Structure 1
Amino acid sequence: MSDDNQLDLFDLDNLDKEVYTIGRITNEITDLLGLTVNKKEILMWKDRFTYIEKHKNDFDSEEQYIDHVKAIPDVLRDPEYVGIHPNGNSIEFIKKIDKNLMIAVRINNKGNLVFRTSYPIKDSKLNNYISSGRVKKVK
């Protein structure tokens, strides 16, 4: 993705905006998943940062949790795997940081791409997703 300079940077200690542009979906991913989306920008509302804190204990330390939250734009920009959630409403982006980080991005009824949640998944779950075809490797 060549236009990263238009992404919003966020400081977890000073979230000063209500909405952040944290990524853009690429044509490669929409083609891989057979999607048509109206908008390319992935938005994250400020309250989502508080929401994902409930997964903090899924990490080995607070530092690891913070590193993974800060990596969200990188996972969206350069995922290892992508898929569609079985309900059809969300795109899943997965990339190994220290743990496999999954990010769910909802496609809302206006065609906007909206960050929903982020949490680590075990290697066994990722392998099940791969073998079942739920996620596809991004080249």
Structure 2
Amino acid sequence: MVVVDGMARKSMVVPTIAAAEKLRADLEQTLIARGARSMSDALAEYQDYLLRVRGAVTARNITRAIERFLGEDTSLGAITSARAAAQYEAETRRILDGKGKPVAAASHRTVLAQCKRFYAWAVEKGYAAQNPFAAIKPVGKPKV
């Protein structure tokens, strides 16, 4: 059996077909559990990481921005590369309430960078198989 995790491939040899079926079922359960981790739980842990390890005093603001952008009711595995690109595209076109102006380039570029770092952390922790924001290029130029 060949297992593909992100860009890594691993061959696994088992002695019987029954053992292979058991291994397949266990791997499927692991993938479901990994992708089913809720966004709010992961963001709470990420906020603790930012405060404790990175020393970020703005950790609460960062996680709140990511939560607003991705949605608290989603799971980590629900965000695919296509969905991430569509969400970022929608953010670049979002009109601010009461002002009638689009979101500033610096704002949507910042939330994209925060999501990239969050998913890089999630991949490192094993909560996500890949970073869906990794290939997205930021749009626009921030004002100086």
Sort the TM-score into its range (normalised by shorter chain): under 0.3
Q: Which has a greater percent of strand?
A: 1
The structure carrying a bigger helix percent of its residues is 2
Instruction: Tell me the TM-score normalised to structure 1 length.
Output: 0.26
TM-score by length of 2: 0.26
